Chain A
Amino acid sequence: MREIKIFLIVVIFAGIVYWGVEPYAHSVMKPHVAPANFNFSAEDLNYAKSILAQKEVALNDAKKANDTKRIESAQKELDKAKEDLNQVKTLWDKVAKIDLSKGNVAKGKEFFTENCASCHGLKEDNITSPVADSSAFGVIPPDLSAAGVIFDDKFLAALVINPSVALKVYHKFGDNFPMPPYQDTPEVMDANIANVVAYLKEMGNKFETNEDIAIKKEIETKYQKMANSPEKTALINKDITFAKDKATFIEACGRCHDVKYDNFFTPSKHSDLKTYLGSIPPDLSMMIRSRGEQYLHDFINDTQKLLPGTAMPRVGLTESAQAKVISYIEKVGDSKKEEREKTGIYIMIFFVILSVFAIGWKRSVWSKLH
């Protein structure tokens, strides 16, 4: 039928325009990155290697162009990329040698009080940080009560050995990162790290259990006056999930970022953060709409991959902790998603039914016209 042919032509041309300006153009504009990898050692090595390969290509191009200045700078960058790869390799080789399963919690606590407690608190074990605000370091040093559950343990080990490389902020801070690297003879170091990670994990699990109980209690109190019903259970469960997600978010991101749409403001001072990082870290309220879930997933996993040169450290979250963080960001920035998708279906069904009547009406009118 002629009408259907015309319709198909319209659909095909509109479809080509859509494909060209949306999926295709955005795939060209967005940097292509390997998917998030929670094996941080493999992630870091792959990334450093990919940079090295890029710099090799750049050097070859410069040589082809026979531009001495370009060759010189490309050579410099290549050398730097090699150095970076070595640094990453050295760090993760050290981590690989540590047997994290053999840590001793009591010894770990001893190590913590002697070496870490001068900056870090651990409230779960009644250790308070002597550093109360962000003026000394630009940011409040984290309380490590939750560290053992939200951070990957190999990442924690790497962090103790060489913080600025593990956090991927070496390009910004060099050897002047506020937290110094830990040095000792290899045997002593391996044992100490295994111990302190074991201690953090023990504390982390304890912290999480206690926090879950506190959250549950608080939310049940909130709904105390409501009569028991399936709706109430659903509401309570929803609130509990949100509170847990938010707690993880605060531990992972809350020392630098605000979320003003959820009335969350970082305890670090903006002016201190700016001195420390170069700019005020963005408010994360609308990040789910401006960046999308996939970007956040890849970015939090390895910040340098999508924003080379950024001062934001790689956070080192485990996959489940990262999922909680993104879930929180989505619930704040796109709080009506559920309602939107439900309402959308209803409105569409409404117009399907209306269409049936409209087709009937048109037929009855046109029966006299044909």
Chain B
Amino acid sequence: MAHIRKANGLIDWLDQRLAVHKLFDVLMVKYWIPKQINFLWAMGVILTTLFAVLFVTGLLLVMYYKPDTALAFDSVNKTIMQEVDYGWLWRHMHGVAASVIFLIIYIHMFTGIYYGSYKRGREMIWVSGMLLFVVFSAEAFSGYMLPWGQMSYWAAQVITNLFGGIPFIGPELVIWIRGDYAVSDPTLTRFFMLHVCLLPIVIISIIAFHFYSLRIPHVNNEISEELDFDLEAEKYMAGDTRNSKVIPFWPGFLSKDFMYICLFMIFFFYLVCFKFEFAMDPINFDPADALKTPPHIYPEWYFLWSYEVLRGFFFDIGGIKAFNIGLAAFGIAQVIFFLLPWLDRSEVVKPAHERPLFFIWFWILLIDMIVLTIYGKLPPTGVNAWVGFYASIVFLLLLLVILPIITIMERKGAK
């Protein structure tokens, strides 16, 4: 056992038993971040903050929520929204944060793509991040069901139905997921379990892994420069803080991020109190009714692009049913981003504006996904259906065909 002496304070007492100084050093003071970064590098900490907001407001909401089809709607809209002190605030914060977190996730993802942060040594950061995206999607979907409004019910009906398209086990799988032949009380109760128990545990574990995956390859920077972190850290610790290309996580990086969080929170609470309809669809304030299909069923905005890929294929091709083609394309869309580090065949790690072909590809991808998002909400009739069809084709081509081709060209041209 280590030698324990009389402590000269609480910190020292803890340090002798838990090595808190060393821990703080490893996690904070001697965790090095590149200096040349812009505000886009604050998205990670903003995401963590939003997750914390979701976690805390979620705990408060669980105290009053009732996962029962007969009680759920009123427990949310009457008890929480009107009777509990500031219940409306927790619910609005929870709903708006759930929506806004996806905006930040997309910004975070596109930042990674633009600066090549998924490449050469950073693949696990990218993959764990994509894993987080998928589990977050499941978390958002299961949470959207809980108020048991019209959109909760019908979105659950449509989405669980998708699993029916999986070969051989589809129909049985749907019943297994729903816990009944149709979406009903057992479905609500199990989605409640997923939303408040299993998925949060999984998310927290993956977040920890995502952070850990940054330790070895380190955070990328604005010019995608490969830094010798040991050398730069030595420079910093020797007192040459101005010329060192790195900063410590604490207080250098976090002081900047704290500033961005504060500015972001002004905007966030504007949304929470004054502009929340984008995150809390009015139709979901009608109680679920299995006999009354709403005229338009659409998912939340952050699922629209993949939803549009799903319904973009609206006619049978070569004897294969439209539903199956759509489902296959949807399946590809869900996993394709995982493969990004390997679909990019070039070794060049540079920001997109220094990779001419990739630069064009990046902006076309972004615009195509915005087109998919907007047309994913519009009724799929007439010309809209065709826009959706071509945008879906473009999406698949961009990732499956064009990206490998242009990056191979880049690699060969670089030689």
| Chain A interface residues (CB < 8 Å from chain B) | 2-3, 6-7, 10, 13-14, 16-18, 20-22, 24-25, 28-29, 261, 282-283, 285-286, 289-292, 333, 335-336, 339-341, 343-345, 347-348, 351-352, 354-355, 358-359, 361-362, 365-366, 368-370
Contact = CB atoms under 8 A, between A and B. Distances in A.
Given A17-B301, A368-B241, A369-B242, A290 B40 contact: no
Nearest to A355: B262
Question: What is the interface of chain A mostly: helix, strand, loop, or mixed?
Answer: helix
B35 interface: yes
A365 B252 CA distance: 6
25 contacts: A3-B39, A6-B38, A10-B40, A18-B278, A21-B374, A28-B378, A28-B379, A29-B295, A286-B285, A290-B286, A292-B282, A347-B272, A348-B266, A352-B266, A354-B262, A355-B263, A358-B258, A361-B255, A362-B255, A362-B258, A366-B252, A368-B242, A369-B241, A369-B252, A370-B242
A332 to B, nearest CB: 9
Interface string B361-387: 000001000100110011100000000
Interface of B: 35, 38-40, 77-78, 81-82, 86, 88-89, 92, 103, 107, 241-242, 247, 251-252, 255-256, 258-259, 261-263, 265-266, 269-270, 272-274, 277-278, 282-287, 295-296, 301, 304, 366, 370, 373-374, 377-379
Contacts of B282: 289-292
Contacts of B82: 261, 335-336
A366 B374 contact: no
A165 to B, nearest CB: 28
B258 A347 contact: no
Nearest to A352: B266
Contact of A290 (B285, B296, B373): B285
Given A2-B38, A6-B40, A361-B258, A351 B265 contact: yes
Contacts of B378: 25, 28-29
Nearest to A347: B269
Contacts of B103: 14
A21 B377 contact: yes
A339 B82 CA distance: 11
A278 B93 CA distance: 40
Contacts of A14: 103, 107
Nearest to A14: B103
Nearest to A7: B39
Contacts of B270: 344, 348
Contacts of B296: 29
Nearest to B301: A21
A29 B379 contact: yes
A282 B292 CA distance: 12
A354 B269 CA distance: 14
B10 to A, nearest CB: 25
B256 A366 contact: yes
Contact of A369 (B247, B258, B263): B247
Nearest to B247: A369
Nearest to B264: A351
Question: What is the interface of chain B mostly: helix, strand, loop, or mixed?
Answer: helix
Given A343-B86, A369-B252, 10 more contacts: A261-B77, A336-B82, A340-B88, A340-B92, A348-B269, A351-B263, A358-B258, A358-B262, A366-B256, A369-B242
Nearest to B369: A17
A29 B378 CA distance: 7
Contacts of A28: 378-379
A42 B60 CA distance: 52
A120 B104 CA distance: 61
B269 A366 contact: no
Nearest to B276: A340
A228 B35 CA distance: 64
Contact of B373 (A20, A289, A348): A20
A340 B273 contact: yes
Contact of A347 (B38, B273, B366): B273
Nearest to A287: B285
B389 to A, nearest CB: 18
A340 B89 contact: yes
Given A344-B273, A369-B35, A21 B285 contact: no
B286 A286 contact: yes
A139 to B, nearest CB: 22
B373 A351 contact: no
Contacts of A25: 374, 377-378
Nearest to A6: B38
From A3, A7, A285, residue with most partner B Cβ within 10 Å: A285
Contacts of B269: 344, 347-348, 351
Nearest to A361: B255
A351 B258 CA distance: 11
Given A16-B370, A286-B286, A362-B259, A21 B265 contact: no
Given A2-B38, A336-B88, A344 B272 contact: yes
Contacts of B374: 17, 20-21, 24-25
B14 to A, nearest CB: 25
A6 B39 CA distance: 9
6 shortest interchain CB distances as A-B pairs? A344-B273, A20-B374, A290-B285, A289-B285, A355-B262, A25-B377
Contacts of A336: 81-82, 88
B283 A290 contact: yes
A2 B37 CA distance: 11
Contacts of B266: 348, 351-352, 355
A366 B81 CA distance: 43
A243 to B, nearest CB: 18
Contacts of A344: 269-270, 272-274
Contacts of B251: 365
A28 B384 CA distance: 12
